[in-house]
Amino acid sequence: MSQNPFSPTIDFLGVFDSLSEEDYAAWQRAHSFREDCLPIINDAWQKSEYPLGLVGRLGELDLLSDGLPVPGKDKDSELAAGLMLMEVTRADASMGTVIAVQGGLAMRSIDMLGSQEQKDKYLPAMAKGELLGAFGLTEPDHGSDSVALETTAVRDGDEFVLNGEKKWIGNGASGGITIIYARTEDGDVSGFIVPQNTPGYNAEVIEGKLSLRAIHQAHIKLEDVRIPVANQLPGARTFKDTSRVLKATRIGVAWMALGSALACYEKAREYVLERQQFGRELAKAQIIQQRLSNMVVDLSQMMLTCREVTTRDAAGTLQPEQASLAKLHNTRAARRIASDARDMLGGVGILLENDIARHFADVEAMHTYEGTDTVQSLIMGKKITGFSAYK
């Protein structure tokens, strides 16, 4: 077994004391990415520019697969995938979202629902960052109720004709492919691999975001988009198939929330140890020590949650409501930590150069995407009461 990647001032309970050498090496790859990311990310975030060079670097370091089996490469464990996603997000949540979109959603759709031919054709290039992938589920009028999607796919000979709109689609206007989920003529939901240069595929980058500004999301309009029947994902026949993909990505968001929370805690601790107020270090103040202790309590619970749901996912025993609990708990806790950290830095806490403001804003997006706080609560509530609150 390897050493714990965290200091005792972070991992009080030693949650990650027992990492295998392989999992620790995977975490180290992600840690090395921070050196490439941190010098340029604040500038990209401020300008709302998508640094595709960093996406390529993620591919070079084999950080994009999110633990999926990819033809021609070794598979990382589920724990390694979580640690890598956490560590990249610890540097920047936009880059963590790249992994969540590329590996967690687009590649996972092909891996879980695609044919072997589709896996062989697309996954190796996507794992290397040579081909960008997007996940087209959310629509302008259907976010939390994405099961009610209105995009259609009509069979016409050897082709499907797609019409509709998608919104908030990461990588949707960045070149590559988009997995479009659409309703077929029998009323069920299926998935389709759509190259973004297909005629009728029109995508615009959404402007004016205050979160995740270093990755682009798109508003897509599909107007008589024709794709071969061979581009349909054979395993995507109902919305339950789509939900299998979403269950896995909710664990990923829990790991991402942990990454941003760690970054905020570390910056706050570093600041109060150096900052002098009223003739002494801020760290000597009782209220500061109490706030740091509260952060560590939250971090410990987040770590335990991530490790437990990841263990269950690897064993094939994870239930949807458990993934919902992890996503809900960790994004709430990350919000608390980011807010406290920003406050502890005073006025300089709003400066991008101190990183916290960026994480503070990005956590708001995590709190919403892959299912809002309310949706996760209702998934849990159905399990608790036996009644669905969706109807």
Q: Are strands 177-184 and 159-170 parallel, antiparallel or unpaired?
A: unpaired
- pLDDT of amino acid 224: 98
Whether 205 is in a domain gets the answer yes
Residues 6+ apart with CB under 8 A from 342: 264, 349, 350, 356, 357, 360
Residues 98 and 109 in one domain: yes
Residues 124 and 147 in one domain: no
Instruction: Compute the Cα dihedral for 181, 182, 183, 184 and give only its sign.
Output: negative
- pLDDT of amino acid 23: 94
Residues 358 and 271 in one domain: yes
CATH value at residue 60? 1.10.540.10
* DSSP string across 179-246: EEEEEETTS-EEEEEEETTSTTEEEEEPP--SS-TTS-EEEEEEEEEEEEGGGB-TT--SHHHHHHHH
Whether 316 is in a domain gets the answer yes
- Per-residue tokens: 195: 């190259």
pLDDT band at 159 (very low <50, low <70, confident <90, very high): very high
Residues 216 and 340 in one domain: no
pLDDT band at 8 (very low <50, low <70, confident <90, very high): confident
d(CA 342, CA 126): 36
Domain final residue pick, 198, 218, 238: 238
- pLDDT of amino acid 391: 65
DSSP element (H, E) containing 173: none
Residues 246 and 380 in one domain: yes
Domain final residue pick, 66, 100, 128: 128
Domain that holds residue 158: 133-238
Residues 233 and 247 in one domain: no
- Per-residue tokens: 235: 């395993």
pLDDT at 148 over 90: no
- pLDDT of amino acid 346: 93
Q: What is the number of residues in the chain? A: 391
Among the ranges given (49-53, 226-230, 273-277, 341-345), the one the predictor scored with the smallest mean pLDDT: 273-277
Whether 4 is in a domain gets the answer no
- Per-residue tokens: 23: 């999992």
pLDDT band at 248 (very low <50, low <70, confident <90, very high): confident
- pLDDT of amino acid 147: 78
* Stretch 36-45: mean pLDDT: 93
Question: What pLDDT digit, counting tens, does each position of 79-97 carry?
Answer: 999 999 999 999 999 999 9
pLDDT at 233 over 60: yes
pLDDT band at 54 (very low <50, low <70, confident <90, very high): very high
Residue 67, CA atoms < 13 Å, CB-side half-sphere = 21
Whether 12 is in a domain gets the answer no
Q: Select from 72, 193, 57 the least CA-distant residue to 125.
A: 72
d(CA 101, CA 108): 9
d(CA 195, CA 369): 24
- pLDDT of amino acid 2: 65
pLDDT at 1 over 70: no
Q: What is the dihedral of CA 376, 58, 52, 253, to 10 degrees?
A: 10
Residues 6+ apart with CB under 8 A from 235: 112, 113, 114, 241
pLDDT band at 344 (very low <50, low <70, confident <90, very high): very high
Residues 37 and 113 in one domain: yes
Residues 182 and 204 in one domain: yes
- pLDDT of amino acid 181: 96
Residues 264 and 340 in one domain: yes
Percent of the chain predicted with pLDDT > 70: 99
Q: Between 184 and 74, name the one with better pLDDT.
A: 184
CATH value at residue 327? 1.20.140.10
pLDDT at 226 over 70: yes
Among the ranges given (133-137, 236-240, 329-333, 339-343), the one the predictor scored with the smallest mean pLDDT: 236-240
> Average pLDDT, whole number, for the chain?
94
- Per-residue tokens: 35: 């050196």
pLDDT at 28 over 90: yes
Q: Select from 240, 256, 334, 312 the least CA-distant residue to 82.
A: 256
Whether 8 is in a domain gets the answer no
Domain total of the chain: 3
Query: Do residues 143 and 206 lie in contact, with contact meaning Cβ atoms separated by under 8 Å?
Result: no
Residues 84 and 102 in one domain: yes
Whether 5 is in a domain gets the answer no
Whether 363 is in a domain gets the answer yes
* Stretch 180-207: mean pLDDT: 96
- pLDDT of amino acid 194: 98
d(CA 354, CA 201): 40
Percent of the chain predicted with pLDDT > 90: 84
Residues 281 and 362 in one domain: yes
- pLDDT of amino acid 371: 83
